[in-house]
Structure 1
Amino acid sequence: MIDFRYHLVSIVAIFLALAVGIVLGTTLLQDPAIDLARRTSDELTNTNNGLRSDLDALRGREAGNDAFITSTTPEMVAGALTGQRVLLVETPGSSTTVREAVQQVLTQSGAEISGRVTLTEKFLDPKGTGVIDGLVSQLKPANMAFPTTATAWDRTAALLASALVTNDQTQAGTPNPATADVVGAFETGGLLSTDDEPDKRATLAVMFAPEKPYEGENAEVQAGALVSMANGLDAAGSGALIAGASVTAAVPGDPISAVRDDSDIAKRVSTVDTADMPMGRAVIVYSLREQLGGRAGQYGIGKGAASHMPAVPSATPSPTTQSGS
């Protein structure tokens, strides 16, 4: 007969066995587990340190390259755009710092800045297309006609471009008498603002893309409005491009991506997605020069870029008198 003492001894034996097993298991596994964790930690630390060193080296190389390009840019672009007038177009969300840096390089190239036009958020508001269409109908010259497929922004771009740029070198620097009141009317309507005298027409135009692509349900429409504006400036002048910084992937709200995705417009309007880098500012000058020769290109490091830069010019092109580029 099993008595209480037997149960007590059995229970004590069970707990003793468990205790011995835990002690033995801990003792046997402790060193290998700790060693493995330590080796893994050391490997991760070494990898991280290596990556940091590589990053520091790359940053140092980039800083050196940027410093060299910045110091040699005046020589690289000297005389490239002599005799040309350039209109600067800022957009909602574009970088003033980038615009100022590009403006400096354009001046170093011999170009004259005709003025600056800053488009407002109201200009890009899809709900306001009726307003801009009304202004176009009211202000356009009688002989100005639009394609039946033209959108409100296409028509607006054509009208504004006729007041801001020209492809006739002899008319550069003079207002267009047929559209003398256009810029003022759009400014009064809160659709844009101006600096200097952009109505004294330029021959070339640089539009600055927003630092970050537009987001939300209207993003694609807003980017498309900027593309229409750039396309209109190109058609009325001797060339136009959109400059900005590269994005990791093509997105609906990025006007540079929108140009590159439209094979027809990409044949006329150039893009440079390295405007935030010293290299890109020189590329903008070369791209405008290429536009004067009737060609366009997509340059930079982002999606859709054909190459880093156009062929370096070797001679000053003759001013074109043809419409657009």
Structure 2
Amino acid sequence: MDQRTLHVINFRFHLVSIAAILIALAAGVALGSGPLDDTGDSLRGDATTSQDTTDPGLAAFESGYAARTSPGLLKDKLKGQTIVMLTVPGTSAAEIRGITTNLEAAGADVTGEVNLTSKLLDASGRQFAESVAQQSASNVPGVSAAGDSYGRVGSALGRALMADKAAAPDQTASTIRSAFSEGKLITLTAPPKKVATLAVLVTGPERTGGSDQSTVIASLAGALNSSGKGIVVAGPSSSSTDGGAVKAVRDGDFATEVSTVDVTDTAAGRVVTALVAAAQAAGQPGAWGTSRSGSGAVPAR
């Protein structure tokens, strides 16, 4: 058998494999633990986020199929929810756009985007961040009651950005936002017009030496989770490996309370992120995505 024939057979095999995964997703079937793990690095919905040699035609197929099947999966899943997008340095802009699109397709009002800066996530600046939180949120009971520094910082951010019901920010929320912005702890990429009922924190891939930052992200997420209906921490497949922020959340004290997903580097994974947000809003947190995800591939419908 010549090389060209082998190439055609292999390509068709990959197409069939991906189609099987996506058809199961469209049917609302939780695929269990295996398929998305092995394909997590190759099923890239956007070539600009890929570090591998995925055939661009294959990537376009996966992206197109997800786009065609997602409307039925997502319809009204997040109706009535207001979501604030949180990002960190290294987050893929393409993944943020894709996730936002799917959240809105599910009926959510994505009210704005806030970047958590390197200054906030650098553990050496912990005392400064804590002082900003305490001074700007001195009248917020949850901040003073939090057990540690990042608990207080996260509680202050939660008061500024989230609530049980969407509404215009009150004076306390505005004061905290301003203090964190002036301290260069956050940047308001798209200033939220309302406090949100839910947050989705999109992280980047695992990076060498990034475990300290990932630990800070996990601590902040745990504190933010006490506001509104909680938080989803989402990232690409490598974010659930050693040094990654998703892994840090899953290994941390709030693993059973903060929802996580580790397949945002796929078009189907960005659809799954919206479904995970719906599960979190419904009080059903879990860990979804690759075989490293304890709850399976996709939340039950």
The answer to whether TM tops 0.5 is yes
Matched position secondary structure for 2:90: coil
Q: 1:249 and 1:76, CA in 2 relative to 1: closer, same or farther beyond 3 A?
A: closer
The structure 2 residue matched to 1:75, chosen from 72, 77, 86, is 72
TM-score (norm 2): 0.78
User: Over aligned residue pairs, what C-alpha RMSD do you find?
Assistant: 2.4
CA distance, structure 1, for counterparts of residue 192 and residue 239 of structure 2? 34
Q: How much does 1:90 deviate?
A: 0.7
TM-superposed CA distance for 1:153, in Å, is 1.8
Count of aligned pairs between the two proteins: 259
1:292 corresponds to 2:298: no
What pairs with 1:164-203 in structure 2 (closer than 5 Å)? Answer: 164-167=161-164, 169=165, 172-198=166-192, 200-203=194-197
Paired residue for 1:87? 84
Map 1:233-248 to 2 at 5 A.
Answer: 233-247=224-238
Match of 2:272 among 278, 283, 292: 283
Equivalences for 1:76-115 in 2 at 5 Å?
Answer: 76-115=73-112
- CA separation in 2, counterparts of 1:114 and 1:199? 6
In structure 1, runs of 5+ residues without a counterpart are 1-44, 313-325
Q: Which runs of 4+ in 1 moved over 4 A?
A: 48-55, 145-149
Task: Extract unaligned runs of 5+ from structure 2.
Answer: 19-57
Contact 1:257–1:304 under 8 Å retained in 2:
no
1:215 maps to 208
Q: Which TM-score applies when normalising by structure 1? A: 0.73
SS of residue paired to 1:279: helix
CA contact (8 A) 2:239 2:262 kept: no
Letter in 1 for 2:266: M
- Cα contact 2:134–2:143 (8 A) shared by 1: no
Cα pair distance change 1:277/1:178, threshold 3 Å: same
Once the two structures are superposed, residues 161-181 of structure 1 have per-residue CA deviations (whole angstroms, 9 ceiling, x without a partner) of 1110112x2xx1321333321
Residues 243 and 273 of structure 1 are in contact (CA less than 8 Å); yes or no, is this contact kept in structure 2?
yes
Paired amino acid for 1:152: S
Structure of higher CA gyration radius: 1
- The residue type paired with residue 68 of structure 1 is Y
User: What's the counterpart of residue 140 of structure 1?
Assistant: 137
Confirm or deny: 8 A CA contact 1:89 1:119 kept in the other structure: yes
Displacement after TM superposition at 1:81 (Å): 0.9
Kindly state the Cα deviation for residue 257 of structure 1 after the two structures are TM-superposed: 0.7
Q: Which residue does the alignment assign to 1:303?
A: 292
Q: Percent of pairs identical after alignment?
A: 27
Question: Closer, same or farther in 2 for the Cα pair 1:237/1:51, shift >3 Å?
Answer: farther
Shift of 1:159: 0.3
Residue pair 1:273, 1:302 contacting (<8 A) in 2 also? no
Letter in 2 for 1:296: P
C-alpha distance 130-55 of structure 1, shift in aligned 2 (>3 A): farther
Inter-CA distance 288–188: structure 2 relative to 1 (3 Å threshold): same
> 2:36 corresponds to which residue?
none
Return the match for 1:255 from 245, 252, 261: 245
